[in-house]
């Protein structure tokens, strides 16, 4: 079933929490005929928020995919749409969605403009080179200000927004939008859920403003296209709508500009014209560069796959959902055609997989397909050994596509099953959750006999606990949340020897390695073109064969194992450069195991000599509070070892940006509400790891 790729758009809706992403998606589903009833987030009836947890909390937790048709200028288009969460604890959902999308709609709150999580999402989209449109939503909200929000996109994101619309009124008086391309006003009939749109002339009191914004739009569009610039310089009035659209499309796909729309999804204003913008300005799969990868047999051999049905099959798994009929594996097909019943290869683990069924997804509903072609997003059943981030490809032409980066967890807690039966079910359930959520980690602590679960925040772990208890019917007790600390060194230790010698009557064990350790940051490693893996750079400086080549990987393995288990308090060691500089071996007694032990001994001793420190996760906290509570909030932050980096007034609210250690932030939302009569809100995201003061380090280590 081949599809004309020029009529396909793979897009995501992403934004800060509460900017209205899911409401925008619900309106899109209604206007495209996918839904016959309009779902609402605040009523718990949103199609894309189908998990019970999402409906109760009124937030999106997992990204949901759907496919909907849209007619624009006489042509039918197929829009593959992913609604992503805004809460920072579920940033992995945004990350993996952006990795497989060709374009995105960034939604902003008409009153708040760019907020903390908007910046994170924008940076993620930059990293994956995703072209974006901007939609300034909630123009009906009290205090909504289009010009202010537009300015924040420019100043805080360093973006190049180009307004293609201007609102008619704001807050209670928001009625419609002015299209700056054809200079017409559009009014939406709320009694018909916005499905009836009326075109009128621009109101007299807004004509001058609209002219100014149109002039700026044409000027900025001309900067993106030489032919348009010539026409603009000759006579601005001779520039046609088609020329402006073409220049904006070219600029958007090249990520040089972001066409900006406005409206109110809740009040049914502006969503259809935003959909037209998706078709007009965001790329189809053929307009994005061919996907890049490497040859599994030789990773230095770079390969590409064009977005074509004729190329060998390649796809990327971006999500795995456990299902009663077998795991549902979501994939983006980049090249070739996949028919159900086909055997394909997962080159990451060299295992063959069988695709028994293919589905086009609509949130939790599914439509079976016989085959799928390049450029599509589908879910398949039958895969047993494929995880998020894995490549799937044809067995004859293997390729490994670029993997995804998953953030390290910042918080952990112990979890204990109540009965032996729960114990069996718990390990299976944790394995399932781990497959679904790559930002979740779990391990068993042999010393304490506890199972530890780790994630991106308190809410993340709370939702996993609820999933175990409510959905999987496993009775568990959970401990207090704990912070994921790291260890590092503060100085340099040169030429430290680790010698492992064992005589047991028969053949002995002999390994001897000498290492030098020094601190290094990820930025320094990148600048020096060194490979840092799990926070450690390992360099082989052995000369004249003092250690045979076959034992050097064993020394590295020993070093990395020692680093992962920690020295001070069992926390992983990171930001260290380890140089293997000397050693010796025994013709008979040396072995790989002996050199692993020697590497671990040398590393531990060298780190101890260099001086060990404890690193703690620091969170970037953004607080929006009425100005009268500024003193209380800032005093409380200071008592939590917080440092205020920025404070600005926005209307009568004060926006405080601070950096605070995560260990001081447990239960902060409740304290903040109590301090501000429930009127302040806060968001948190990981910023960096920093060294802890010695007195606090000793307290933490005493408990470890």
**Predicted local confidence at residue 445, as pLDDT:** 65
Residue 591: which of 561, 550, 544 has the closest Cα?
A: 550
pLDDT in tens, 591-635: 999 999 999 999 999 999 999 999 998 988 888 888 889 999 999
In this structure, the answer to whether residues 517 and 465 fall within a common structural domain is no
In this structure, the answer to whether residues 15 and 134 fall within a common structural domain is yes
Q: Give one DSSP letter per residue of 588-616, joined into a string.
A: TTB-HHHHHHHHHHHHHHHHHHH-EEEEE
Cα distance between residue 267 and residue 109, in whole Å: 14
Write out the two tokens for 169: 């009124």
What beta strand segments (E) does 374-445 contain?
A: 377-381, 391-393, 400-401, 411-417, 441-445
> Looking at the domain assignment, is residue 670 inside a domain?
yes
Tell me the CA distances in angstroms from 259 to 164, 179, 229, 245, one per residue in order. Answer: 6, 12, 18, 10
| Domain final position from 432, 451, 484 | 484
Residue 482: which of 533, 445, 446 has the closest Cα?
A: 445
In this structure, the answer to whether residues 495 and 538 fall within a common structural domain is yes
Cα distance between residue 654 and residue 135, in whole Å: 24
Cα angle for residues 445, 446, 450 (degrees, 5° grid): 45
User: End-to-end alpha-carbon separation of the chain, Å?
Assistant: 58
CA atoms within 13 Å, Cβ hemisphere of 12: 27
Cα distance between residue 438 and residue 128, in whole Å: 18
> Looking at the domain assignment, is residue 250 inside a domain?
no
pLDDT in tens, 123-139: 778 888 899 999 999 99
Tell me the CA distances in angstroms from 428 to 281, 419, 424, 474, one per residue in order. Answer: 46, 15, 7, 11
**Predicted local confidence at residue 83, as pLDDT:** 63
CA atoms within 13 Å, Cβ hemisphere of 593: 5
Cα distance between residue 285 and residue 612, in whole Å: 50
Most confident of 351-365, 397-411, 436-450: 351-365
* DSSP 3-state of 41: coil
By residue range, what is the domain housing residue 456?
411-484
Provide the angle, in degrees to the nearest 10, between the axes of the packed helices 21-31 and 271-281.
90
Higher pLDDT, 362 or 548: 548
In this structure, the answer to whether residues 81 and 130 fall within a common structural domain is yes
Q: How far is Cα of residue 508 from the mean position of the Cα atoms in its chain?
A: 50
Sign of CA dihedral 280, 282, 285, 288: positive
* DSSP 3-state of 118: helix
Residue 688: which of 615, 582, 601 has the closest Cα?
A: 615
Give the pLDDT band of residue 700 (cuts 50, 70, 90).
confident
Cα distance between residue 110 and residue 149, in whole Å: 6
Provide the angle, in degrees to the nearest 10, between the axes of the packed helices 204-222 and 241-253.
50
> Looking at the domain assignment, is residue 522 inside a domain?
yes
**Predicted local confidence at residue 607, as pLDDT:** 95
Cα distance between residue 46 and residue 27, in whole Å: 10
Cα distance between residue 289 and residue 125, in whole Å: 16
CB 13 within 8 A of CB 104: yes
Cα distance between residue 5 and residue 285, in whole Å: 6
Write out the two tokens for 66: 């759907």
Residue 447, pLDDT > 60, answer no
In this structure, the answer to whether residues 187 and 54 fall within a common structural domain is yes
Q: Tokens 């904006």 appear where? A: 248
In this structure, the answer to whether residues 426 and 339 fall within a common structural domain is no
> Looking at the domain assignment, is residue 241 inside a domain?
no
Domain count, the chain: 5
What is the side-by-side strand order in the sheet with 298-305? 298-305, 291-295, 400-401
> Looking at the domain assignment, is residue 236 inside a domain?
no
Give the pLDDT band of residue 473 (cuts 50, 70, 90).
confident
Residue 92, pLDDT > 80, answer no
In this structure, the answer to whether residues 511 and 437 fall within a common structural domain is no
Could you tell me how many residues make up the chain? 704
DSSP class of residue 275 equals H
| Domain final position from 552, 578, 610 | 610
Q: Give one DSSP letter per residue of 78-115, joined into a string.
A: EEEEEE---SGGGHHHHHHHHHH-SEEEEEEETTTBS-
What mean pLDDT comes out for the span 457-462?
A: 76
What mean pLDDT comes out for the span 393-401?
A: 91
**Predicted local confidence at residue 255, as pLDDT:** 93
Cα distance between residue 376 and residue 129, in whole Å: 19
DSSP class of residue 295 equals E
Higher pLDDT, 369 or 322: 369
In this structure, the answer to whether residues 314 and 325 fall within a common structural domain is yes
What mean pLDDT comes out for the span 640-669?
A: 86
Q: 70: alpha, beta or left, given left = phi > 0 and alpha = psi -120 to 50?
A: beta
- Specify the CATH number for the domain of residue 327: 2.40.30.10
User: What is the chain's percent helix, strand, coil content, to nearest 5?
Assistant: 30, 35, 35
What share of the chain in percent tops pLDDT 70?
A: 88
In this structure, the answer to whether residues 371 and 450 fall within a common structural domain is no
CB 32 within 8 A of CB 312: no
**Predicted local confidence at residue 313, as pLDDT:** 94
Residue 662, pLDDT > 70, answer yes
Q: Give one DSSP letter per residue of 520-536, joined into a string.
A: --HHHHHHTT---BTTE
Q: CB atoms < 10 A from the CB of 641, how many?
A: 16
pLDDT in tens, 224-261: 988 889 888 888 888 889 999 999 999 999 999 999 99
| Domain final position from 610, 627, 658 | 610
In this structure, the answer to whether residues 32 and 160 fall within a common structural domain is yes
CB 364 within 8 A of CB 404: no
Non-local (6+) Cβ contacts of 584 within 8 A are 512, 546, 547
Cα distance between residue 173 and residue 119, in whole Å: 29
**Predicted local confidence at residue 197, as pLDDT:** 81
What share of the chain in percent tops pLDDT 90?
A: 39
- Specify the CATH number for the domain of residue 464: 3.30.70.870
pLDDT in tens, 186-219: 998 766 666 678 889 999 999 999 999 999 999 9
- Specify the CATH number for the domain of residue 554: 3.30.230.10
In this structure, the answer to whether residues 283 and 361 fall within a common structural domain is no
Tell me the CA distances in angstroms from 187 to 170, 306, 392, one per residue in order. Answer: 14, 43, 47
Give the pLDDT band of residue 91 (cuts 50, 70, 90).
low
> Looking at the domain assignment, is residue 217 inside a domain?
no
**Predicted local confidence at residue 267, as pLDDT:** 87
DSSP class of residue 238 equals G
Residue 42, pLDDT > 60, answer no
What backbone torsions phi and psi does residue 495 show, to the nearest 5 degrees?
Answer: 50, 55
Q: How far is Cα of residue 704 from the mean position of the Cα atoms in its chain?
A: 31
Write out the two tokens for 358: 């293919």
> Looking at the domain assignment, is residue 212 inside a domain?
no
Give bridge partners of residue 451 from the DSSP assignment.
415, 444
What backbone torsions phi and psi does residue 21 show, to the nearest 5 degrees?
Answer: -60, -50
Residue 176, pLDDT > 80, answer yes
Non-local (6+) Cβ contacts of 4 within 8 A are none
Q: Tokens 């309009």 appear where? A: 38
Give bridge partners of residue 82 from the DSSP assignment.
12, 65
- Mean pLDDT of all residues in the chain? 84
> Looking at the domain assignment, is residue 232 inside a domain?
no
Q: CB atoms < 10 A from the CB of 445, how many?
A: 11
In this structure, the answer to whether residues 606 and 619 fall within a common structural domain is no
C-alpha dihedral over 172, 178, 184, 188, to 10 degrees?
A: -40
């Amino acid at each position: 079933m081949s599809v004309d790729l020029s009529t396909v758009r793979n897009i995501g809706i992403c934004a800060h929490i509460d900017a209205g992403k899911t409401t925008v998606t619900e309106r899109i589903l209604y206007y495209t005929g996918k839904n016959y009833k309009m779902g609402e987030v605040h009523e718990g009836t949103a199609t894309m928020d189908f998990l019970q947890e999402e409906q109760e909390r009124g937030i999106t937790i997992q990204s949901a995919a759907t496919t909907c048709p849209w007619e624009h200028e006489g042509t039918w288009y197929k829009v593959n749409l992913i609604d992503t969460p805004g809460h920072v604890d579920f940033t992995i959902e945004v990350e993996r969605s952006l990795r497989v999308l060709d374009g995105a709609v960034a939604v902003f709150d008409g009153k708040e403009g760019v907020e903390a999580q908007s910046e994170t999402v924008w940076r993620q989209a930059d990293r994956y080179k995703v072209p974006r449109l901007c939609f300034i939503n909630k123009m009906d909200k009290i205090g909504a200000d289009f010009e202010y929000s537009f300015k924040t996109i420019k100043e805080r994101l360093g973006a190049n927004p180009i307004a293609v619309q201007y609102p008619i009124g704001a807050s209670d008086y928001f009625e419609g939008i002015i299209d700056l391309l054809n200079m017409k006003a559009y009014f939406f009939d709320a009694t018909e859920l916005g499905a009836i749109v009326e075109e009128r002339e621009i109101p007299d009191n807004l004509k001058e403003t609209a002219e100014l914004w149109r002039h700026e739009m044409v000027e900025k569009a001309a900067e993106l296209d030489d032919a348009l610039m010539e026409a603009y310089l000759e006579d601005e009035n001779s520039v046609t709508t088609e020329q402006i659209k073409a220049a904006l499309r070219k600029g958007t796909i090249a990520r040089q500009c972001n066409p900006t729309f406005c409206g109110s999804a809740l009040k049914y204003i502006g969503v259809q014209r935003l959909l037209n913008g998706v078709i007009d300005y965001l790329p189809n799969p053929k307009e994005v560069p061919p996907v890049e990868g490497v040859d599994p047999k030789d990773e230095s051999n770079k390969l590409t796959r064009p977005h074509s049905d004729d190329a060998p099959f390649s796809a990327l798994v971006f999500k795995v959902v456990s299902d009663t009929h077998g795991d549902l594996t979501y994939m983006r097909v980049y090249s070739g055609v996949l028919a159900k019943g086909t055997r394909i290869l997962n080159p990451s683990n060299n295992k063959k997989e069988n695709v028994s069924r293919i589905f086009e997804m609509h949130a939790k509903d599914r439509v079976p397909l016989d085959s799928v072609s390049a450029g599509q997003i589908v879910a398949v059943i039958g895969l047993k050994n494929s995880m998020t981030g894995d490549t799937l490809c044809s067995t004859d032409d293997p390729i490994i596509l670029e993997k995804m980066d998953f953030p390290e967890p910042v918080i952990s807690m112990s979890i204990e099953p109540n009965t032996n039966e729960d114990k069996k079910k718990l390990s299976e359930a944790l394995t399932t959750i781990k497959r679904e959520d790559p930002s979740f980690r779990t391990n068993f602590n042999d010393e304490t006999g506890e199972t530890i679960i780790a994630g991106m925040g308190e809410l993340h772990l709370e939702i996993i606990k609820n999933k175990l208890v409510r959905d999987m019917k496993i009775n568990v007790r959970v401990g207090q949340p704990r912070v994921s600390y790291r260890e590092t060194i503060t100085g340099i230790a040169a030429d430290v020897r680790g010698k492992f010698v064992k005589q047991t009557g028969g053949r002995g064990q002999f390994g001897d390695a000498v290492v030098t350790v020094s601190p290094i940051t990820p930025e320094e490693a990148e600048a020096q073109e060194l490979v840092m893996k799990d926070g450690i750079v390992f360099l082989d400086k052995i000369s004249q064969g003092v250690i045979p080549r076959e034992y050097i990987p064993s020394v590295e393995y020993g070093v990395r194992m020692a680093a992962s288990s920690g020295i001070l308090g069992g926390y992983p060691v990171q930001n260290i450069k380890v140089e293997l500089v000397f050693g010796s071996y025994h013709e008979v007694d040396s072995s790989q195991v002996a050199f692993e032990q020697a590497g671990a001994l040398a590393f531990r001793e060298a780190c101890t000599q260099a001086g060990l420190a404890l690193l703690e996760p620091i969170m970037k906290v953004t607080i929006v509070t009425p100005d009268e509570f500024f003193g209380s909030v800032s005093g409380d932050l200071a008592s939590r070892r917080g440092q205020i980096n920025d404070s600005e007034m926005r209307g009568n609210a004060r926006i405080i940006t601070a950096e605070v250690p995560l260990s001081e932030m447990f239960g902060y939302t409740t304290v903040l509400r109590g301090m501000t009569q429930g009127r302040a809100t806060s968001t948190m995201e990981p910023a960096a790891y920093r060294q802890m003061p010695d007195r606090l380090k000793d307290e933490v280590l005493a408990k470890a």
